[in-house]
């Protein structure tokens, strides 16, 4: 309850502020040059180069968590047996 009141107070204070300036450089000439380079003609290439490591990282994490493809199903249990019997192919 106390956190909720505090959160509402912060939200109300944020809405009452006329203008919040998080970046004092944004309105300067240097800020304008930086924006023109960031959002220039090679924006897509820069965005792809920035975001490319994330799918690679998620793939590595998925391999670590789930194991490589082709492993036994986790439904087999710790004993290596299914409902039909042992998991060996030579019955």
Residue ranges making up the domain that contains 57: 28-68
Q: What is the pLDDT of residue 53?
A: 96
Does any domain span residue 17? no
Does any domain span residue 61? yes
Q: What is the pLDDT of residue 35?
A: 85
Q: What is the pTM of this model?
A: 0.41
Q: Per-residue pLDDT for 49 more than 90?
A: yes
CA neighbor of 8 nearest in space, from 16, 52, 32? 16
Please state the domain count of the chain: 1
Does any domain span residue 76? no
Query: Cβ distance 38 to 50 under 8 Å?
Result: no
Does any domain span residue 2? no
H or E element in which residue 28 lies: none
Does any domain span residue 57? yes
Q: Which residue has the higher pLDDT, 47 or 25?
A: 47
Q: What is the pLDDT of residue 47?
A: 92
Does any domain span residue 91? no
Does any domain span residue 60? yes
Does any domain span residue 14? no
Q: Which two tokens stand for residue 20?
A: 């919040």
């Amino acid at each position: 309850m106390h956190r909720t009141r505090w959160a509402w107070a912060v939200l109300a204070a944020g809405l009452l502020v006329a203008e919040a300036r998080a970046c004092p450089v944004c309105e300067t000439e240097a800020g304008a040059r930086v924006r023109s380079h960031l959002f220039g003609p090679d924006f897509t290439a820069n965005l792809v180069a920035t975001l490319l490591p994330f799918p690679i990282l998620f793939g590595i994490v998925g391999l670590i968590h789930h194991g490589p493809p082709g492993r036994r199903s986790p439904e087999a249990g710790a004993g290596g047996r299914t409902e039909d019997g042992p998991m060996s192919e030579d019955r």
